[in-house]
Structures are given as C-alpha cells and as structure tokens.
Amino acid sequence: MTIRVLPLLLTLCLTMTLPAMAGVVYENGPINGTIDAWTINFGFVMGDSFTISGGPTTITGVAFGAWVSPGDTVTSVEVSLNSQPYLGGTTYFDEMVNFTQTGCAVNQYGFNVCTETGLFNGPTLLNGTYWMTLQNAATTNGDPVYWDENGGIGCHSPGCPSQTWWNSEGTVPSESFSILGTPGGATPEPGSLVLVGSGVLGLLGLIRRKL
C-alpha cells in the first residue's frame, strides 16, 4: 500500500530537531511531505542505503520523516542495520527502537507529516555502504505508518541519494532520513538538522502579508 499524490507548488517543510548528543553522520535530504510515502508496518518492509565516510563511526540513532493519521503517534519501529539490502549480509543491529515524534505539520491530504527520532546503542561501522531497514512500526492508535519519500533531493552526504528497496514493489525512490552517530570517537557538537526546503518560510511570509 502506498499513498501517491500530485506535486504541489508549495513544498511542505518540517524541521528535524536532533538531541544535543546526536551528530548527523549521513543525511538523505529534507522531508518533502507531498510526493509519496511507503508503509513500514503490517508486514511491509523498506530499506535505504547509507554511507559512512568519516572513519570508524558509532551509530547512535536515526531520524526519519513519517506520515501518520491525525492524532496518532509513532511509538516504536524495528530498525535493522545490514551490509546488504533485503536484510542480507551481516546484521550489525536489529532491535525495536522507541521513537519521539516532533515537528508535525498537516499536509494537503490530511496526514500529519512528522519527524521521528530514535536513539540507541548501535554498532561501530567502518567506511562503506550499509542498509537501514524499517518495519513493524507501532503507533498509539494502531494505524499505518508511512515513510516519507523525497527522492534524495537536497541531500549532501557522500553516497547520497540512497538506493532503496520495498518488499512489495522492489526498487522505489529514496526516503527522507538521517543516520546519527559519533564519527571517529569525537563528541558531536549540539545542534539540529533542518530537513526542509524553503516552502514553509515562503508560506509564512505570504500569510503575514495577507494579514
């Protein structure tokens, strides 16, 4: 099951705020919120590739864009880190992770498009390409959870945009997400990652002018 929508003149923009102890070691571009979204529960499984390029890096979490029903909240998602797609090769991490939902905004189809951030004690990965897979997402109301598609537009990390796979259709455009971690054992600086374009700022300016 997917949600397919038409492109809009205004891009929905959301801010992905990260905890102070989390550094971004890979990002696949801003949340779009208007193109498409892919189910990651009820038996649907989606994986995206990511690249580590800063030397040995301890993975500490993940943040991704999700579409959820109004009033619903993502509570946990099964996160897997593998050396190959389709949950193949070496499995470095595979656990249910608790997520915090922030920065929600309603898109034109009535879904809340939110930032989902989950922190965990992950593996230390060397430079190379890996795969993150999301599945078995749970919510307070038991509704579907959809991973926001952005096609990797606006990404800046080496190796982006990510390659993808979805167990229902195979290869699809890539999704909005960031891998959090500590590269080379260094302590990351506090801060936040804005996974957005300029649509909301323009919209706010338009609203102010109209008022």
For 98-112, give the secondary structure using H, E and C.
Answer: EEEEEEEEECCCCCE
42 torsion bin: left (phi>0), alpha (psi -120 to 50), beta (else): left
Beta strand 57-68 pairing with 164-166: unpaired
Q: Provide the pairing of β-strand 128-139 with 46-52.
A: antiparallel
Q: Confidence class of residue 203 from pLDDT cuts 50, 70 and 90?
A: very low
Residue at 201 is within a domain: no
Q: Which range marks the domain in which residue 108 is found?
A: 16-187
* pLDDT beyond 80 at 110: yes
What's the whole-number mean pLDDT along residues 37-61?
Answer: 97
1 within a domain of the structure (yes/no): no
Res. 202 pLDDT band, cuts 50 70 90: very low
Q: Report percent pLDDT > 90 for the chain.
A: 75
Distances (CA, A) of 134 to 56, 155, 170: 23, 20, 15
Q: pTM here? A: 0.81
| Count of domains for the chain | 1
Quote the CA–CA distance of 207 and 25 in Å, as a whole number: 36
Residue 96 falls within a domain, yes or no?
Answer: yes
